[in-house]
Amino acid sequence: MWQTYLRPTSLTETLDLLAQYGTQARIVAGGTDVLVELQRGVKPTTTLIDVTALPNLKYIRYDQGSLSLGGLTTHDDIIRSAVCQQYAFSLVQACQEVGAPQIRTRATIAGNLVTASPANDTISPLLAQHAEIVLISVRGERIIPLRDFYQGVRRTLLQPDELLREVRLPAMSAQQRGLFLKLGLRRAQAIAVINASFLLTFNGEEVCEASITLGCLAPTVIHACGLEAYLQGKRLDPAVCQQAGQLVQDEVQPIDDIRASATYRRKTLTALITTGLQRLANGEGSGQTTTLLSQPAAAEPNQTNVSVPHPFADVIETTINGTPYRLEHAQQKTLLNALREDAGLTGSKEGCGEGECGACTVWLDGQVVMSCLVPAPQAHHAHVTTIEGLACRVPSSGYGSQLHPLQQAFIDRGAVQCGFCIPGMLMAGAKLLEEDPHPDMEQAQIALSGNICRCTGYRKILDAILSIGDEERNIDSASPTALSVK
Ligand code: FES
Ligand code: FES
């Protein structure tokens, strides 16, 4: 997939490497887009420059009416941020729609922006909220409005030697309401068929300014300029909302593709715009008035296990299930392949190899990740837990001596059919239970939304997760698996 893996630890070093390698290198952080593209042979590259060890690039700041998001801010960081819920509400909603928990914990906003697909969920809310991006290279820094950044499908103004250092946007005011709506072919892990972001400024009941952006309807995400003009000075009564839905059809020339025909996109756009405006008219559109989905557990990093980012040089030294490993021939591999081929741990499965099925789910420094999307060097000096390490640790007996309660529940409930998806289901489900011993059905469904079972045994799998009672669980903070059986 790549020949050389570089992991600089300073911004200066990173920019020098970018200048040196230019088009031969690609930046990798969460890896959730880059590794999929490399698996598919899109934009092949010889060199990856891993920026996850850079200090001070993972932050969310609010200052004097402005929000700043560091280049390593993930979708999950946004979802969990009270500041973003207050000041960038539609962005939070969009982040909740991205992939699955295993993706949101790792995928960065910066990565989503530079991938530049018109279907990417975070572009439309950031465009509607008039965001700008800060690009940096050895030549200096430049600030570009997001509106000018996109040049076509997956084409941007980003130069090969530049790094997206920060996203800036004006914070929502008390007079504004925002909303993100997405139509996909399923509820999770779906690429948008169309999406729309609304940012309306009200003077009483009247719209005094409208910013509405549309995804998947043109080569880039676009503003619905005619609709924005129409809404100015209007009250959002039912007739106006209906009319707006009709008017927006004239602004787009949708594409036909595998997800939907142009006709379908045009007709559903009408419904999406009308519904969105009606919901805003009813007062939705801010953290105070709109309930977000339950926070997906199974994503919180285990702070006691987070490793200090470490420079990397060829040999991966890592701890897997409490045992130190030295992997000498895995630097060009995914973590999944390194686990299976180099560490001999074949419990984690490859179903799709591109982040769609969750069969490869493991914990990396306490977070659930899809190991097929993690470059193996990111496990250097980190702690990995695989299905082989899930069985509870009894100090006198070591790992694996007693089944994890969730494993037992899967057996008791008959939750296993062919078994291929089960390692991933267990790793995602056990992390959920570690973080919330009393999940409800919605949380369980969200936590497992990245895990697909081809035998379609979801009901019993969810029942098994919800079946575990307090008497069967006891948090053992000393254990990486954090659950022990009494
Ligand atoms: Fe990794 Fe399918 S998500 S193999
Ligand atoms: Fe067969 Fe899930 S039990 S894939």
Is 33 strand, coil or helix? Answer: coil
The CA 429 to ligand 2 mean position distance, Å, reads 15
The CA 187 to ligand 2 mean position distance, Å, reads 20
User: With a cut of 50, which residues of the chain have pLDDT below it?
Assistant: 296-306, 470-471, 473-486
Q: Residue 222: how many CB atoms within 10 A of its CB?
A: 19
In 3D space, the residue among 118, 225, 94 whose CA is nearest the CA of residue 169 turns out to be: 94
pLDDT tens digit sequence for 240-270: 999 999 999 988 988 888 889 999 999 999 9
Helices (H), 82-197: 82-87, 89-96, 101-104, 109-115, 123-128, 146-149
* Residue of minimum CA distance from atom 3 in ligand 1: 355
Q: Give residue 401's pLDDT.
A: 67
The CA 159 to ligand 1 mean position distance, Å, reads 31
The CA 266 to ligand 2 mean position distance, Å, reads 37
| CA 373 to ligand 1: nearest atom | 1
Q: Residue 367: how many CB atoms within 10 A of its CB?
A: 21
Q: Residue 176: how many CB atoms within 10 A of its CB?
A: 20
Q: Give residue 1's pLDDT.
A: 83
The number of the ligand nearest the C-alpha atom of 461 reads 2
Please provide the distance, in angstroms rounded to a whole number, between the alpha carbons at the two ends of the chain: 45
The CA 473 to ligand 2 mean position distance, Å, reads 26
Q: Residue 63: how many CB atoms within 10 A of its CB?
A: 8
DSSP string across 296-348? PSS----TTTPPPP----SSEEEEETTEEEEESS-TTSBHHHIIIIIS----S
Q: Tell me which residues have their CB closer than 6 angstroms to ligand 2.
A: 416-422, 453-455, 457
The CA 351 to ligand 1 mean position distance, Å, reads 5
Mutational pocket test of ligand 2: of 417, 456, 461, the residue with most ligand atoms within 8 Å of the beta carbon: 417
The number of the ligand nearest the C-alpha atom of 415 reads 2
| CA 353 to ligand 1: nearest atom | 4
The number of the ligand nearest the C-alpha atom of 36 reads 1
The number of the ligand nearest the C-alpha atom of 420 reads 2
The number of the ligand nearest the C-alpha atom of 353 reads 1
The CA 35 to ligand 1 mean position distance, Å, reads 12
Q: Give residue 44's pLDDT.
A: 87
Largest CA distance in the chain: 73
* Residue of minimum CA distance from atom 2 in ligand 2: 453
Question: Is the separation of the CB atoms in 406 and 464 below 8 Å?
Answer: yes
The CA 361 to ligand 1 mean position distance, Å, reads 7
Q: Tell me which residues have their CB closer than 6 angstroms to ligand 1.
A: 350-353, 355-360, 370, 372
Question: Is the separation of the CB atoms in 436 and 405 below 8 Å?
Answer: no
| 8-state DSSP, 95 | H
Q: Residue type for 29, please?
A: A
Mutational pocket test of ligand 2: of 422, 448, 458, 462, the residue with most ligand atoms within 8 Å of the beta carbon: 422
- C-alpha distances in Å from residue 200, one per residue of 66, 109, 166, 463: 18, 23, 25, 42
The CA 408 to ligand 1 mean position distance, Å, reads 24
* Residue of minimum CA distance from atom 1 in ligand 2: 418
Q: Find all residues with CB under 8 Å of 288, minimum gap 6, and list them.
A: none
The number of the ligand nearest the C-alpha atom of 421 reads 2
The CA 337 to ligand 1 mean position distance, Å, reads 11
Mutational pocket test of ligand 1: of 354, 362, 422, the residue with most ligand atoms within 8 Å of the beta carbon: 354
pLDDT tens digit sequence for 263-273: 999 999 999 99
Mutational pocket test of ligand 1: of 333, 335, 340, 360, the residue with most ligand atoms within 8 Å of the beta carbon: 360
Cα–Cα distance for residue pair 386/99, rounded to 1 Å: 21
